[in-house]
Structure 1
């Protein structure tokens, strides 16, 4: 995703609002960290650009030196919840030496860990009404490619190979819906161990796929 000011060091003439401990993050990454915290705790609509800038330790005017606004931050956070799984999915699709059932299970498990891991429930951002707008087309395109990878892996299993197209599409919708549905379960029980949760969800996904 493009950056209004890049990911390099701070620019001359854009002083920070206050002295803060050096986090080692670039100003843009500090804004992303602030957005992840505030969007998931206070809500996207309720978070002002001033609040984002204050949390990142910079002046509001300086924020626009690095990003165009909070929509850009939300778009990047959304894509960050999908692109690692898509990278894994591409690798798994190319791994013909491993049974498709095992590859599908690994994708499900890893995807759940990504959605539920980390200090903030970024997956919960999927539920925002703003995400349905054209501004977030990049996120929807990456998500669609990931869903197609699920479909290909299901089709590569012994059970999936015997399915008609309509049934394969249905199984894919159900499996993908289960994986993204963990967002709500995790939000209601954030202390649930993510690793056990991920394994159990992957097992359930394979049963839905007919494996």
Structure 2
């Protein structure tokens, strides 16, 4: 699930010291985030040190601290980056009542899967870290809850949601199942990473709407969506 959306002032950094990745062309902060994403998902968050992140990014550990305060700050920004683009889209979709709720829900599901599966690392797996329950990750949890609430609002506005109007618990469960499917796609994608992501995203969106009890939107509406 979306560029990081972390809030708060960042310290100004010095130029990198030892450029182990001289041809990447990425700014130092992005280089550090890429290094952290790789190490957190391959070696594990607990087993990764800030020194290892700095070295992988091609800089000294002391230099890294001019960009990030430590591992938690790196992890928080990575997690927020998996939600932020989807949240921007979700807010826009809520402001388009002229389109059917089913069409908007399908688009949100599809875009979420494209975001979660489009990168080189399985950042969705980091959601399960016990550290994510800490105070440093309140912003990420708020963003994720807002996104989930948009899923529920759109589901509620579909005919299937209307049928469950008197069963709030049933509607909440159906939304949990839809949202859980979308967030769990990385496990499926990891089993066959060569599968075309675009086709996988559409198939997952179709499955999500079937779980929700909603029919797939008409082809003309789908064709109008941005890629």
Superposed CA deviations along residues 142-167 of structure 1, whole A, max 9, x for unmatched, are: 00000000000001111112212222
Shift of 1:20: 4.2
Matches of 2:131 and 2:69, distance apart in 1: 17
CA gap of 1:27–1:168, structure 2 versus 1, over 3 A, is same
Shift of 1:54: 0.5
Alignment match, 2:113: 112
Superposed CA deviations along residues 120-159 of structure 1, whole A, max 9, x for unmatched, are: 1211211222222222111111000000000000011111
Aligned with 2:194: secondary structure?
coil
Which 5+ residue runs of structure 1 have no aligned equivalent? none
Spell out structure 1 runs of 4+ moving beyond 3 A: none
Q: Which has the higher contact order (CA 8 A, sep 6+)?
A: 2
1:129 aligns with 2:134: no
Mean alpha-carbon deviation: is it higher for 75-84 or for 164-173? 164-173
CA contact (8 A) 2:16 2:58 kept: no
Aligned residues: 206
Alignment match, 2:10: 4
Shift of 1:184: 1.7
Alignment match, 1:145: 146
CA gap of 1:19–1:34, structure 2 versus 1, over 3 A, is closer
Matches of 1:149 and 1:155, distance apart in 2: 10
CA gap of 1:5–1:169, structure 2 versus 1, over 3 A, is same
CA gap of 1:93–1:18, structure 2 versus 1, over 3 A, is closer
TM-score where L is the length of structure 1 = 0.91
Alignment match, 2:100: 99
RMSD: 1.6
Alignment match, 1:181: 184
1:190 aligns with 2:190: no
Shift of 1:64: 0.8
CA contact (8 A) 1:15 1:62 kept: yes
Shift of 1:69: 0.3
Matches of 1:143 and 1:15, distance apart in 2: 33
Matches of 1:132 and 1:183, distance apart in 2: 21
